[in-house]
Amino acid sequence: MARVAGSRASAPDMNELLRALPAVEELAARLAELPRGVAVSAARAAIAARRDELRAGATPEPAAGVEALVADARARAEAAERSSLRPVLNATGVIVHTNLGRAPLAAAAVDAVAGVAGGYSNLEYDLESGRRGSRQDHAEGLLRELTGARAAIVVNNCAAAALLASAALAAGREVVVSRGQLIEIGGSFRVPDVVGQSGARLREVGTTNRTRLSDYERALGPDTGAILRAHPSNFRTVGFVEDVEIEALCELARSAGVPVIDDIGSGALAERVPELADEPPVRRSVAAGASVVCFSGDKLLGGPQAGLMVGAPEAIERCRRHPLARALRIDKLSLAALEATLRLYRDPARALRDVPVLAMLGASEDALSGRAEAIRGALSRAGIEARVIRASAKVGGGALPLLELEGPVCAVEPGGIGVDRLTRRLRDGDRPLVARAREGRLLLDPRTLDDDGANAAARAVIAALS
């Protein structure tokens, strides 16, 4: 359609143009290769769009007519048939990218999901006894082995774990927490809001930057249900700061006879990974005596979305029996992926190699350089200006906010279309590519691309600039 400046169809002309539009059924019949419902919906949308254009003052191009409507309807049908949730190439350098689905799964986890997704499974069936079992049995033994805890359960995410622990251990009573740990966890959700839904009341102690053991001591009393420690995963306070180590907090809690809920956010289960030095180790919190330690499955663990809860048998059992446990329980596909991921951690060397998040964290300079050069070479052969420069990747996912992972990236000159238009074209591709822009250039970070992904990214850029 073309807009004719300074003109608008008169009322009789407008009525004539509208009457000339085909009926929905007529247009849908031209899309016979499509399911009838899809064809009718696409035809109706195409005709409605044409009608709106006419009423807005557009007039048909000479070649525009039913054929143009057929093409528009077919394009709408194809878009409607395309899955909304689609695989994306992540060239941003953000390893645990919340908007892009957080941690990519290990191949073993993908296979485990496929193995139980297409049929039935022993999710809650004990094959040995032939009686009903518990879905928690599939992960509890592994979590106990890997963390040193005496009991464990899994729910659907870490916020759910904190909610369940607070409800089971402290509903109707006070939860003592440092003011410096009243954090916002993303999506405008805040720790006070989550705990508030448990029926517990927060008792704030200390200040934003300094909380001492004596602050907790003064707050403990007959109405104390639990002490909560919430790791500030997505920010750091530096300078004039003070907090209480988990060992001292658990010792105080034992003497007072109250449980400690330690929400460590992402947490660190892998060992001998220097990049994880600033994340609280799960084993440390368990060894200190925290009643419930909560951490995420889809962040630095590198598994599916899940809230892992490990700790003392009495506390975990109270969580297990609470009515919220059913509402927050993990599904079978996530459980299959989690079990497979945890099994990889039994062999630390294998975990570092096979869990994508850990492999990206520890990627060597040679591997990154080779991948960046491969992208640059493919682009250069296609006549696209690109070069390898240095830039910093991030962990993302609200973990290790201060960690900068410097390495080589491929910087692409967008030419006459500009970087904004290029990024839009890349997002519109058959397999969308998401990257970052800097100083007018497109940066492709090889840290979040495997070898196949790097080749696909190069092809996507070449197609977008063709």
Burial class (CB in 10 A: 0-12, 13-18, 19+), 437: middle
Q: What is the structure's pLDDT at 184?
A: 79
Kindly compute the dihedral angle of the four CA atoms of residues 301, 324, 315, 400, in this order, to the nearest 10 degrees: 30
Q: What is the structure's pLDDT at 236?
A: 78
CA neighbor of 70 nearest in space, from 92, 48, 43: 43
- Which of residues 56 and 12 earns the better pLDDT score? 56
> Is the pLDDT at 440 greater than 50, yes or no?
yes
Q: Range(s) for CATH 3.40.640.10 in the chain?
A: 107-354
Q: What is the structure's pLDDT at 5?
A: 43
Measured distance CA(266)–CA(306) in Å, rounded: 11
Over the chain, what is the mean pLDDT? 92
Q: Which residue has the tokens 């039994």?
A: 346
Q: What is the structure's pLDDT at 61?
A: 57
Q: Range(s) for CATH 3.90.1150.180 in the chain?
A: 89-97+358-465
Query: Which CATH number, 3.40.50.300, 3.40.109.10, 3.90.1150.180, 3.30.160.40, labels domain 89-97+358-465?
Result: 3.90.1150.180
Show the DSSP H helices in 328-417 as ranges. Answer: 332-344, 348-354, 356-361, 365-381
> Is the pLDDT at 461 greater than 60, yes or no?
yes
> Is the pLDDT at 57 greater than 80, yes or no?
no
Return the SS3 of 138: helix
Q: What is the structure's pLDDT at 195?
A: 86
Measured distance CA(208)–CA(341) in Å, rounded: 37
Q: How confident is the model at residue 296 (pLDDT cuts 50, 70, 90)?
A: very high
CA neighbor of 89 nearest in space, from 401, 431, 463, 443: 431
Measured distance CA(36)–CA(335) in Å, rounded: 38
> Is the pLDDT at 62 greater than 60, yes or no?
no
Mean pLDDT, to the nearest integer, of 179-194?
80
Biggest CA–CA distance in the chain, Å, is 89
Q: What is the structure's pLDDT at 403?
A: 87
User: Residues with Cβ < 8 Å from 179, sequence gap 6 or more?
Assistant: 204, 205, 206, 207, 208, 211
Show the DSSP H helices in 382-417 as ranges. Answer: none
Mean pLDDT, to the nearest integer, of 304-317?
98
Determine which helix (DSSP H) or strand (DSSP E) holds 50, and give its type and residue range: helix 36-55
CA neighbor of 267 nearest in space, from 297, 290, 235: 297
Return the SS3 of 382: coil
Measured distance CA(136)–CA(151) in Å, rounded: 11
Q: What is the structure's pLDDT at 6?
A: 42
Length of the chain: 466
> Is the pLDDT at 69 greater than 60, yes or no?
yes
Q: What is the structure's pLDDT at 327?
A: 96
Measured distance CA(218)–CA(205) in Å, rounded: 9
> Is the pLDDT at 12 greater than 70, yes or no?
no
Q: What is the structure's pLDDT at 95?
A: 96
DSSP conformational letter for 301: T
Return the SS3 of 304: coil
Q: What is the structure's pLDDT at 188?
A: 64
Q: How confident is the model at residue 246 (pLDDT cuts 50, 70, 90)?
A: very high
Asked if residue 344 lies in contact with residue 189, where contact means CB atoms within 8 angstroms, the answer is: no
Kindly indicate whether the domain formed by 107-354 is annotated with CATH number 3.40.640.10.
yes
* pLDDT tens figures, 81-98: 888 889 999 999 999 999
